[in-house]
Chains A and B, each alone.
Chain A
Amino acid sequence: MSEWLENHLPKVVLAPSFIAVLIFVYGFIGWTAWVSLTRSKLLPKYEIKGFIQYERLFDSPRWDTAINNLYIFGALFIVIAMVLGLLLAILLDQKIRVEGAIRTIYLYPMALSMIVTGTAWKWILNPGLGIESMVQGWGFANFEFDWLVNPDYAIYTIVMAAIWQSSGFVMALFLAGLRSVDGEIIKAAQVDGIPTWRIYTAIIIPSMAPIFLSAFIVLAHLAIKSFDLVIALTGGGPGYATDLPATYMYAMAFSRGDIGQAASSAMIMMLVVFAIVVPYLYSELRAKND
């Protein structure tokens, strides 16, 4: 008996975690998928009725807003954070004296909760007392900056705060990438008199393609899951102007009592993440096993 245990101990140790993941990840995804096909309202029902919840979802103007916001937010957030991160990494890669200190400053927002970030930016962007009144106080009496409470522009305030929070992290990724480029090639190019900007655009940046992919995956993943920041900064408002899929799902699940809608919107989020992450993970794992 003890010999059996000793031989199977590795499996016995791994089993509880594996079973937990099977139930709480895959089982729960299955449950949500099932419920998304029913007429569940306040309480879950288990009788399958087809894609009725998804039809309701795609007919809902609120979901439409959430998806449009995800496009706007996702695209701007990913592109600007990557450009800014790359720029900062290149600037920091010039044998800077106080590099450690500067890196620490650029990256600290990543340690903060999105709720803290949202609270800070909500104050900074406050139309009555924040940047608007500051600039007015400088003598520009007509200066207006009410994006936080303007339904057409509020989503951009979320982009601003999200970029502040995450761009330092992208910088760290790119900096590690820049440092891993073969120094010999760069030296050879410098000896040949190739200008520095050409060395970056023709040699260094192209060799960092995998880092670009990683940064993209991380940022896209962050964008889709964005929830805390919206809640803290705008609460999804004005009205539902800054709803994202995550806040839509939460509203349906916990304040509207519409479990069917919550489940179907969660499944759509899941599918979007699947589409981005699965090919990436698959290629990573394959590369490792080969």
Chain B
Amino acid sequence: MTDLSMPQTQTRTQSATGKIALRWLLYVLLGLFALYYLMPLFVMLTTSLKSLEEIRTGSLISLPREVSFDAWKTAWSGACTGIQCEGLRPYFWNSVLIAVPAVAISTLLGALNGYVVAQWRFKGANIIFSLMLFGCFIPFQVVLLPMARLLGIMGIAGTIPGLIFVHVIYGLGFTTLFFRNYYVTIPAELTKAARVDGAGFMRIFWSIFLPLSLPIIVVTVIWQFTQIWNDFLFGVSFSQAGTQPVTVALNNIVNSTTGVKEYNVDMAAAIIAGLPTLLVYVVAGKYFIRGLTAGSVKG
């Protein structure tokens, strides 16, 4: 760690003034950047609380003269996504119904896979892991067409189970990677000692590894939840009217061409769609960042 305020070779008074000026500049810069990142959220929030009339006459960044939650009500239960006008609510629950099982299944499978790859190495385990890992990086466009056909053949095209299936399959690489990298740091002697004592594969997993895994479970659940909640590509490709996730519904509301353009409703809907992941980030930011860096840096 370096520090711009370290004593330099100037005379003492000069360096003291310079030091204070530099600190000020530093904090001003950091503050300006903070404003830059917060501005869109601020604009979304204030716009969602304004009336359409005020939006038309007022400025983008002005505070609402009269706070109104009408736009939020419309966004939640009345806004039109094409022909249906039920707001975001049904789609919000679709996203919950997709995300919860998909996160649970992919995390559990990832834990078991990571346990095998890290602690029960057999011939070829590394190649299997590399092949699974590579699956994380493919652009999903390359699997969209055959997956659409397969879901049709399986009879789950355009259904919520279909979307759960897709998210589990393409989440496996990452969840396995997370658990593998975590379990690799647990000494192999632990497994060996437990085997000498007569514990089997599953017993060791349940009573030794799983109790140690809370931090990585949190990281994986947050990562998977954020990925699945924010997914748009699979949602738009493999859903139909009624089963769309919230991101697809939001996009439909914003691009719906019927009636007057209600910008305040658009903004309220965007905040609602973003709220769950934002909340997770605020509550468990540390784990979120750990997942981001683990998922993208460690190969």
- Using a CB–CB cutoff of 8 Å, the interface residues on chain A facing chain B are 6, 9-11, 13-14, 16-18, 20-22, 24-29, 31-32, 35, 44, 88, 91-96, 102, 104-117, 119-124, 126, 129-131, 133-134, 137, 164, 168-169, 172-173, 176, 178-179, 183, 186, 190, 193, 195-196, 199-200, 204, 211, 214, 217-218, 221, 224-225, 227-228, 231-232, 235, 245-246, 249-250, 253-254, 259, 262-263, 265-267, 269-270, 273, 277-278, 280-281, 284-285, 288-289
**Do residues B230 and A113 form an inter-chain contact, with CB atoms below 8 A?**
yes
Contacts of B41 in A (CB 8 A): 108, 120
Within the complex, what minimum Cβ distance (angstroms) separates A4 from chain B?
A: 13
Check A17/B109 contact, CB under 8 A, given A116-B250, A221-B137, A266-B139.
Answer: yes
Label chain B's interface by main secondary structure: helix
**Do residues A214 and B296 form an inter-chain contact, with CB atoms below 8 A?**
yes
CA of A94 to CA of B23, assembled, Å: 9
Contacts of B116 in A (CB 8 A): 10-11, 13-14
**Which residues of chain B from 220 to 250 have a CB within 8 Å of any chain A CB?**
226, 229-230, 232-233, 236-237, 247, 250
CA of A199 to CA of B170, assembled, Å: 44
Check A281/B2 contact, CB under 8 A, given A29-B142, A176-B293.
Answer: no
Contacts of A137 in B (CB 8 A): 59
**Do residues A24 and B3 form an inter-chain contact, with CB atoms below 8 A?**
no
Name A24's contact: one of B59, B147, B232, B297 (CB within 8 Å). B147
Name A11's contact: one of B33, B122, B141, B169 (CB within 8 Å). B122
Question: Is B273 on the interface with A (CB-CB < 8 A)?
Answer: yes
5 contacts between A and B (CB under 8 A): A108-B281, A123-B267, A164-B37, A179-B1, A224-B139
Name B59's contact: one of A134, A176, A265 (CB within 8 Å). A134
- Using a CB–CB cutoff of 8 Å, the interface residues on chain B facing chain A are 1-6, 8-9, 26-27, 29-30, 33-34, 36-41, 43-44, 47, 55-56, 59-61, 109, 112-113, 116-117, 120, 122, 125-126, 128, 130-135, 137-149, 169-170, 172-173, 176, 200-202, 226, 229-230, 232-233, 236-237, 247, 250-251, 254-255, 263, 266-267, 269-271, 273-274, 277-278, 280-282, 285, 288-289, 292-293, 296-299
Check A28/B143 contact, CB under 8 A, given A13-B113, A169-B292.
Answer: yes
**Do residues A124 and B142 form an inter-chain contact, with CB atoms below 8 A?**
no
